[in-house]
Structures are given as C-alpha cells and as structure tokens.
Amino acid sequence: MGMLYIVPTPVGNLEDITLRAVRLLKEADFVLAEDTRTSAKLLKHLDIQVPMYSHHKFNEHKTAASLVERIRNSERHVALISDAGTPGISDPGFFLVRECVKNDVEVQCLPGATAFVPALVCSGLPCDKFVFEGFLPQKKGRQTRLNFLKDEQRTIVFYESPYRVVKSLAQLAEVFGADRRAAAVREISKLHEECVRGTLAELVKHFTDNEPRGEFVLLVSGVDDARHSNEE
C-alpha cells in the first residue's frame, strides 16, 4: 500500500523548503498540485521531474476517492502540495486526507512553511494561545462571525487578500473597537515583507494611505489582552 505525503512549500523565499521535502518530491510517483503552472516553476527550480496532476478546490470532492484507491493499490507514494504553505490550511487537502484516513491509507505531514505562524510570532501579540480563522466569509455570515469573535480571549488570526484589507480592518474596528491592538503582516518571507503594528484604527489609516500589496495575515488581540493593556 502506498502513502500520502503532505509537503509544505515556501510561502516566499524558495530557500525555506526543507531537504526532506525536496527528497520526497523527487521520490514521489506523482505530485498533486493546487495549480500545476505555479508548482511547475518550483519543481523546475528544484530540478525535480515527476508527473504532476491538478488537485484543487474545484475538483477535490470528485477526485479524492479515486486517488485514495490508486494510492492503496498501485502507487508507492504520492506527494500533495499547494501553491504556497501547508496543504489543508486554507488550501485544498482536507478531503483527500480524510478519505485516506477512512481507508487506512497512511498519511504523513511534513513540518514546514505556513504563513500564520511567523506572522503571529512577530506581531508582538500574545501567541501562547490563539485561534486561527483563515478567510472570513465574504458576504453571508460575515457579520455574524465577527460578532461571535468580538469576545474571544485569544489572539485571532485571519488571512486576507490585499483587495479587502482596508474593508476588513474597518469592520474589525467597528465590531471589536477601534483601539483594539492588532498587526498586519504581508509578503511573508519575500523581499518586501512588512509587519505593521498598532490599533485597528491606526492600521485602517495606514493602509488607506498606503495601498495594500501582497497577501496578508491580520492578527487581533483577544479581549482579555485588550483589557489588560487598557489597565496598564
């Protein structure tokens, strides 16, 4: 029986990939990629020549069962990668892992790159306890989710695109309070990496005055940390 390897890929600097990840990608019978065009550039850079097939959010429901059967019956091992970071974290991967687990196919996830961990650590906000929210709903359920989170005691982590950063920060300020401490980290591990810290109101002003560029991680302090800061 084969095995499924979940292989994180760099979120920015290509040097962030691990030696083990490179070896397993070279040894894979085939690679499942979120976008074969994006991943082809990485594999070419690493001088890896293995068959590659698409596995993305539009086909993962349909293909998971057949892929599991293929891994069970014929393939030595398969590697799953996403465009950047660890598959399954706001990226395709969960459904395939779940099917593998249900069918007793071994799954191993390599430690490696993911965007929210370095963002959390460098934010200056408490990182001993946190909640990862990923992307907020764009429309339906968005306000309900924000209202639910406003009394969260742990640091809250969101992913956001540059096109919605100002809107999201403004909504967070409206629901959580404009003086809630926060940080916005963009372009992690890339040339123009930046971490902007301050209150939600200050972040709204900063990114209103400075056009947001790159993928963002937004971090907001929990309500207990906010109360503690105000007491000081």
Tens of pLDDT, residues 108-165? 999 999 999 999 999 999 999 999 999 999 888 999 999 999 999 999 999 999 999 9
Residue 222 dihedral angles phi and psi, to the nearest 5°: -70, 165
Looking at the structure, tell me whether residues 81 and 123 fall in a common domain.
no
**In sequence order, which ranges of the chain are alpha helices (DSSP H)?**
19-27, 36-45, 60-73, 94-102, 116-122, 142-149, 165-176, 200-209, 223-231
79, 109, 139 — which closes off a domain? Answer: 109
Looking at the structure, tell me whether residues 138 and 162 fall in a common domain.
yes
Looking at the structure, tell me whether residues 126 and 208 fall in a common domain.
yes
Looking at the structure, tell me whether residues 152 and 46 fall in a common domain.
no
Looking at the structure, tell me whether residues 123 and 221 fall in a common domain.
yes
- Per-residue tokens: 11: 């979120």
Q: How far is 37 from 45, CA to CA, in rounded Å?
A: 13
Tell me: pLDDT of 7 over 90: yes
Query: Please, are residues 173 and 138 in contact by the beta-carbon 8 Å criterion?
Result: no
109, 142, 172 — which closes off a domain? Answer: 109
Looking at the structure, tell me whether residues 182 and 78 fall in a common domain.
no
Tell me: pLDDT of 27 over 80: yes
pTM of the model: 0.90
The total number of structural domains in the chain stands at 2
